[in-house]
Amino acid sequence: MKEKNFKLRILIPLITAFFLLLGSFVFIFYWFHQEQLIEDVTNDFNYFQDLFTVQLENDAGMMASALEVILRDPKTKASLKKRDKESLLMQAWPLFNTLLSNHRVTHFYFTGPDRINILRIHKPEKYGDLIDRFTTLAAEKTGKISWGIELGPLGTLTLRVVAPLYEGNKLLGYVELGEEIEHISEKLHNILGLEIQVLIKKKYLLRHQWEAGMKMLHRKAPPWDQISSRVIIYQTMETFPWNIHQAYSAEASVETRKDLKFMHQGQYYIGRFIPLMDAGQRQIGQMLVISNITSLKKSIRSTLFLISGICVAAGSLLFIFFFLFLGRVQTQMETTDFELVRIRKAVENTRDSIIIMDHKGKISYWNPAAKTLFGYEAQEVLGKDLHGLIAPVRYHKSFLSRFDHFKKTGQGPALGNILELEALGKGGVEFPIELSISAIDLEGRNHAVGILRDITDRKQLEKKLLQLSYQDGLTGVANRRHFNETLEKEWHRMKRDGKPLSLIMCDIDFFKNYNDTYGHQKGDESLKRVASRLKELLKRPGDMVARYGGEEFAVILPDTDTQGALRLAEHMRVAVESLGIVHSGSQVSEWLTISMGVASMIPSGNTLQTDLISEADQALYGAKGTGRNRVHLLDKGEIDTGEIDTGEKK
């Protein structure tokens, strides 16, 4: 009897404590992973919002660059001043086709200084109406380029960029470009895997116009009365529980509640309303961004049930072991085994790659996510040198120089930081990763734990956005923005090194006559060929050719003196003429030719980069004034092409 009471005094508190701990563990485990899931989804939503804003800014920048080119065209100024619709249409139509096909620009307006529309390039038959959109009003007020999202009467959202056109201080009118922004939502849907709905407040729309617009655009939008205060103009989900919108239909609810959780057709979702502001800073609606978290929730629950089952089994075994007096040591060993299983399951089910490197630099752990990322099975890599297997050769020296210090101290500059590096997959293909490293002490030796994830998609998107912002859309060479930044950088570098910086300004001779004779499409083709030939002649990485505007090009030549620039300029002049582009409207040659002005300076505290541009410009004017199809150097007279040693047979 005493033996039984002794057992009960030990087992009852032990079992009670076990179930209390198990309940606490289940609660904490589930709460932690739910919070982690919410954090991951929140990061996705924030990333979506940032990418959406970046894409809008880049598209607006592209259209602003196109407008700058249009504003510098004297023919456009003259036609707009005369309100000559036919001339404007003929001059702008090729550019509009290019912008439409390459950059999705669907709107092209010319508007008078009174904001009365003169011409819609995309719809010439409609004109004469007053343009009172926020972007036009802002351009009128500030006298500068204005851009923003505008809501159309049919329920479409258009990114519009408006630029005022002046002749001196006199306002001649406005030029406007616009694009529908649905392609941005579609792109982000494909990249991030998020579902998107765009909702517009009904007070900004007329029902009959919206219904006609949805029908014209062939969109399967829900009925006008489906949601009390909003209508959906765009969505990526085919089916949706509309009662969710009814629950969030009150104005205050949608504006203040950030995220909502709901279930539809057996799937779990988290959504967030992101305010949608127009150019007038009105909140005209929201974007509802939705993430399907079904698989993640199922993974959490499966892991939770598995670990709970293991813990219950462990408790049962502990009860049996204590009841049969198998001893404390064996009981502790079984408990330890189950704890290790729990930890391994949690690590193996994570989406991030986890790799452990031992004190010899060998791989000692490789989780399933690492196999997916690099292509190697665990048995192929365990015991292998980590850096020799998955790190490019250029990183090896840096690793070896720091590894001895890490082995002794467990410290290093990479620990505690998030790094972006290149990694080698199976087959030797490099790809970008994000890496976080921490140190752990195992049996008195320092081991490194790395958590890695593939960031290829993110890097490709960043690279594409950067390329679009620096490249001329027609010729493929650097645009004016890239030219300005490069010239400033090289100016300061040459000033620091005390070396010369040369600039060649190029202008195609009688290019207006060429366009008038052969048409703007042929003119665009000749611009591409000239730009390509100029670029081919640049052999050094630091040299750059840029489209300066219209038919003008500029060539930046760091560490190049006057004679070097003159030789290259003459090579370019000969190369362009040798393209053999027939130009019957030229007064100097039967072929298309260029005039070139050369300037060279050693930057100092007494000079500015604008002085270099001005001198090259004046030299270019000198080349034009002395007969064209030649290279000219300011204050040194016309450069006789026969005096420049090009290395070519005359």
* Cβ neighbours around 413 below 10 Å, total: 12
Stretch 558-585: mean pLDDT, rounded? 96
How would you classify the pairing of strands 230-235 and 195-201? antiparallel
Q: What CA–CA distance (Å, rounded) separates 562 from 594?
A: 19
Could you list the beta-strand ranges (E) of 476-579.
501-508, 544-549, 552-558
Instruction: Give the confidence band of 633 by pLDDT, cuts at 50, 70, 90.
Output: very high
> For residue 480, what are its two tokens?
């004016």
* DSSP string computed for 106-128: -EEEEE-TTSBEEEETTSTT---
Q: Given a cut of 60, is residue 252 above it in pLDDT?
A: no
Handedness of CA 265, 267, 272, 274 (dihedral sign): negative
The confidence band for 378, taking pLDDT boundaries of 50, 70 and 90, is confident
Where are the extended beta strands (E) located within 236-382? 259-264, 267-277, 283-292, 353-357, 363-366
Q: Does the reported pTM lie above 0.75?
A: no
Three-state SS for 6-67 is HHHHHHHHHHHHHHHHHHHHHHHHHHHHHHHHHHHHHHHHHHHHHHHHHHHHHHHHHHHHHH
> From CA 78, how far away is CA 380, in angstroms rounded?
73
First-to-final CA distance of the chain? 122
Structure tokens at 52: 């959406």
24-36 tens-digit pLDDT:
888 888 888 888 8
Pairwise CA distance, residues 366 & 348, whole Å:
9
- Hunting for tokens 């609810």 — which residue is that? 253
Q: Residue 114 phi/psi, 5° resolution?
A: -90, 10
The dihedral formed by the CA atoms of 337, 340, 346 and 349, expressed in degrees to the nearest 10: -80
Instruction: Return the percent helix, strand and coil in the chain, to nearest 5.
Output: 50, 25, 25
Per-residue pLDDT at 511: 95
Q: Round to whole Å and give the CA distance between 643 and 141.
A: 55
Asked if 92 contacts 121 with a C-beta cutoff of 8 angstroms, the reply is yes
Tens of pLDDT, residues 508-518: 999 999 999 99
Residue 576 to residue 593: CA distance in whole angstroms: 6
Query: And the tokens for 248?
Result: 């969030």
Q: Is the pLDDT of residue 443 over 90?
A: no
* DSSP H or E run through 373: helix 368-374
Over residues 506-528, the mean pLDDT reads 95
Contact criterion met (CB below 8 Å) for 297 and 268? yes
- For residue 302, pLDDT over 90 is answered with no
**pLDDT averaged over the chain?**
85
Torsion of CA 507, 592, 502, 492, to 10 degrees: 60
**φ, ψ dihedrals at 446, nearest 5°:** -85, 125
